[in-house]
Amino acid sequence: MLCDDVMLNSISQGFLSSEALQEAYQDDTASNLVIMLLRFIVSAEIKRRDDFFLPFILGMYDDPPACVDTFCQRY
């Protein structure tokens, strides 16, 4: 699990050091879940503000995706 009540309480009360927190998130499963969550968040923001992001997406590739939805599905 990425974060449970015990870990949250330990962090908020200062019982968990930054080294221990770093070690907890160096697990492949946990780090992959964090990356997947961040990709979902970024994809949602890009889709929400597609008019703003489309020029950047079109300028990144020689053969750009036709729309923001295609970009988010592909990458």
Widest CA span in the chain: 51
Q: Give per-residue pLDDT as tens, 6-41.
A: 777 777 787 777 787 788 778 888 788 889 999 999
Query: Who has greater pLDDT, 7 or 67?
Result: 67
The phi, psi pair for 53, rounded to 5°, reads -85, -20
Where do the DSSP E strands lie in 1-75? none
pLDDT of residue 3: 62
